Amino acid sequence: MFKPDKVQQQIVSGIREFVERKVIPVASLLEHEDEYPREIIEEMKEFGLFGCNVPEEYGGLGLSYTTFAMIVEELSRGWMSIVGPIGTHSVICDIINRFGTDEQKREFLPGLANGERRGGLALSEADAGTDVQRISTIATRKGDDYVINGSKMWITNGRYGNTFVLAAKTDAKADPPYKGISAFIIEKGGAGFKVGRDIDKLGYRGVETCELFFDNFPVPAKNLIGRSEGEGFKQIMTGLESERINVAARGIGLAQAAFEDAIHYSQLRYTFDKPICEHQTIQNMLAEMGTKIEAARLLVYSAADKKDRGERCDLEVGMAKLFATETAQEVALQALRIHGGAGYSKDHRVERYYRDAPLLVIGGGTNELQRLIIARGLIAKHRVK
Ligand SMILES: Cc1cc2nc3c(=O)[nH]c(=O)nc-3n(C[C@H](O)[C@H](O)[C@H](O)COP(=O)(O)OP(=O)(O)OC[C@H]3O[C@@H](n4cnc5c(N)ncnc54)[C@H](O)[C@@H]3O)c2cc1C
């Protein structure tokens, strides 16, 4: 049985208290209005949550992947959207911390840790999501700068963020194409960087997901991560491993919230002279929901622990992401069914969980991609000599 240590228990109980008091009472209202949860995010900033995975020497909390996953689970239990501002933010902290030069770490990590800098990952494009090698944004060296041309799609924190890790081709003819991808730290403010529309989404509302446009946008060459061209694909893919743990943890939190609402409702709603939780069909649903959530939690914390130990864990992280997010989607639907007609109304939270869950099977690399990664890993592990 996975058991959090004392410090982790304290952190989780502090976050839980904050979520119960400040998030749950307003989440559905803000979500329906598609309103940015400014006050909640400010409070998260005060807690230091923007610096969860930034080392203490740069002003962060220096928490493990496992502890961060616990925080994400608790926040997501209240409202998945509030993880958005610290989610890809933490991915870019991870990338800069692992691959940045000392100068880049000193320049960017303190501001990211205290939340003055709000980060995002500018990777996907209208014509390139799963197939990252197809990106067509170009970075051309001009003197002490690179000049960026192209556009990005689906960028979380695009409007309220100010610092991004951007993937661009520095060699469009490289073979294989991933060898031509480089990663840059870019900042808003200069001419040639425009934020387009906020995409109107099914769920994950309240936080913005935007298009970004670059027209001869200059980036100082010193912002090329690690100061070497052609390393961007590897750097970003490594960062996405931490994103998968955080997406999986969002899945557990969302599923837990849906389960709690369902088991509560099932004891209050009567049909045929008894609460519906006494009908065996409902009991079967509750049993499956509870079992899958517990299994998902164990998988996620086991994968996070492996990453904390510095071991190779792409297979385990892929399994955790796949299972936890498919569980979230299934449990959200079951919770809605247990609520009957009430579940279909906006008076109950389950309709929000049901709309939020599908993002989890898409974000951080789709679950179809996870299955490919898992299968490749398993075949390699069990190769016939
Ligand atoms: C709300 C939201 C927020 C996001 N935030 C960000 C962000 O902050 N930064 C960012 O860079 N991106 C972000 N994304 C983009 C996200 O990472 C991509 O949507 C995702 O990687 C899938 O890419 P795609 O949408 O282009 O789908 P496609 O790649 O076009 O895939 C379409 C379908 O084909 C399947 N498929 C593709 N290739 C294969 C294959 N080889 N085998 C089997 N099936 C395959 C996919 O699984 C999917 O079902 C966000 C997306 C959403 C919806």
User: Where exactly are the structural domains of the chain?
Assistant: 6-114, 119-230, 234-381
Q: Which residues are catalytic?
A: 243
Q: Report d(CA 50, CA 160) in Å as an integer.
A: 14
Distances (CA, A) of 318 to 102, 248, 309: 31, 9, 17
- Measured in angstroms, how far is the CA atom of residue 4 from the centroid of ligand 1? 33
Tokens of 76: 């997501």
Q: Hey, what CATH class is 119-230 in?
A: mainly beta
pLDDT tens digits for 207-261?
999 999 999 999 999 999 999 999 999 999 999 999 999 999 999 999 999 999 9
Q: Report d(CA 338, CA 275) in Å as an integer.
A: 12
Tokens of 218: 């200059």
- Measured in angstroms, how far is the CA atom of residue 155 from the centroid of ligand 1? 12
pLDDT tens digits for 133-174?
999 999 999 999 999 999 999 999 999 999 999 999 999 999
Distances (CA, A) of 242 to 29, 206, 314, 365: 31, 23, 10, 12
Q: How much is the average pLDDT of 181-197?
A: 96
Atom of ligand 1 nearest to the CA of 121: 9
Cα angle 378-64-208, degrees, rounded to a multiple of 5:
85
Q: What's the predicted TM-score (pTM) here?
A: 0.97
How many residues are listed for the chain in this entry? 385
Q: How much is the average pLDDT of 362-383?
A: 96
Atom of ligand 1 nearest to the CA of 156: 8
* Protein residue closest via CA to atom 20 of ligand 1: 129
Helical ranges in 185-279 per DSSP H:
232-268
Same fold yes or no, 119-230 and 234-381: no
Asked whether 164 lines ligand 1 (CB < 6 A), one says: no
pLDDT tens digits for 41-75?
999 999 999 999 999 999 999 999 999 999 999 99
Separation of CA 96 from chain center: 17
Q: How much is the average pLDDT of 15-38?
A: 98
pLDDT of 261 reads 98
Is the per-residue pLDDT at 89 higher than 90?
A: yes
Q: What is the CATH number of domain 234-381?
A: 1.20.140.10
Is the per-residue pLDDT at 1 higher than 90?
A: no
How are the residues of the chain apportioned to helix, strand and coil, as percentages rounded to the nearest 5?
Answer: 60, 15, 25
Q: Report d(CA 253, CA 259) in Å as an integer.
A: 10
pLDDT of 3 reads 85
Asked whether 201 lines ligand 1 (CB < 6 A), one says: yes
Asked whether 110 lines ligand 1 (CB < 6 A), one says: no
CATH fold group of domain 6-114: Butyryl-Coa Dehydrogenase, subunit A; domain 1 (1.10.540)
Is the per-residue pLDDT at 2 higher than 80?
A: no
- Measured in angstroms, how far is the CA atom of residue 199 from the centroid of ligand 1? 15
- Measured in angstroms, how far is the CA atom of residue 240 from the centroid of ligand 1? 13
